[in-house]
Structure 1
Amino acid sequence: MATPDFLPTSMSTLSEVMELLADRGFDHELTFSPEGKLVGNNKAYVPEDLLLIRTYRFEGISDPSDNAALYLFTDKEENIGFVVDIYGRESNFPASFADFLRNVPSI
């Protein structure tokens, strides 16, 4: 599957990308549950249920250690959802989230 042409390819800030995606109707945030699943779109997903279609990485202008990632996923019904993670030492997710991501197929 090729990268969908509706996705931004070069944006400078997290807020710009999220605003553009929301304008296009992609505003479904997924959350990582204590059970180790991504939850959203009225579903609980395991890695095999999803396809990672794009990862955006952002670095703070004044502090290079201020890092965030925006992950865009699609499910088998072509619903698109996103996860925002402050990654690195300050990650807002447990280590099991990284394991989850490694097991999600990507395009």
Structure 2
Amino acid sequence: MYKPNEMTSVTAVLEKLRQKKMDNEFRWTEQGFTADKGKVYQPEELKIIKVFRFEGDSDPGDESIIYLLEANDGLTGYSMDAYGVYTTQDNEVEYNNFIRKIPVEDREEQLIFEV
């Protein structure tokens, strides 16, 4: 059964995604997002179905964001980044511009992770 307080860390979210087989990582390229399945996705082919934000208690380097994405072909996965200067993206501006173009359909965690 889903427990709201379980999703309190990046590790908890990634583990829950792994358990639900939604752990495909969408990686930014100059052509769009790819999830190592041989396809490149454009913003109109994706939906952001949930956003998880994490702020470090004492270390700004712990500030992360996970976008849970669903592609129009049914593939579900995530894209993860750190805030500001701690970003893990090679081209943060282009990554952010791409993310902003993806429609948001904020679903309840309970619906996403139900058994």
Among 3, 8, 11, the alignment partner of 1:15 is 11
TM-score (norm 1): 0.83
From the superposition, tell whether residues 59 and 23 of structure 1 become closer, same or farther in structure 2 (CA, over 3 Å): same
Q: 1:24 to 1:8 in 2, by over 3 A?
A: farther
Question: Cα RMSD over matched residues?
Answer: 2.1
Distance 1:21 1:83 in 2: 12
Name segments (4+ residues, structure 1) moved above 6 Å. Answer: none
Alignment identity in percent?
A: 30
Displacement of 1:65? 5.5
Deviation at 1:64, TM superposition (A): 4.3
List runs of 5+ in structure 1 lacking aligned partners: 1-6
Please tell me whether residue 103 in structure 1 is matched to residue 101 in structure 2: yes
- Equivalent residue for 1:78? 74
> How far off its partner does 1:36 sit?
4.2
Shift of 1:61: 2.6
Query: Which has the larger share of helix?
Result: 2
**Which residue number corresponds to residue 54 of structure 1?**
50
Cα distance in 2, alignment partners of residues 63 and 84 from structure 1: 18
Measure, in 2, the Cα distance between the counterparts of 1:15 and 1:57: 12
Q: Pick one of 32, 38, 56 that aligns with 2:33.
A: 38
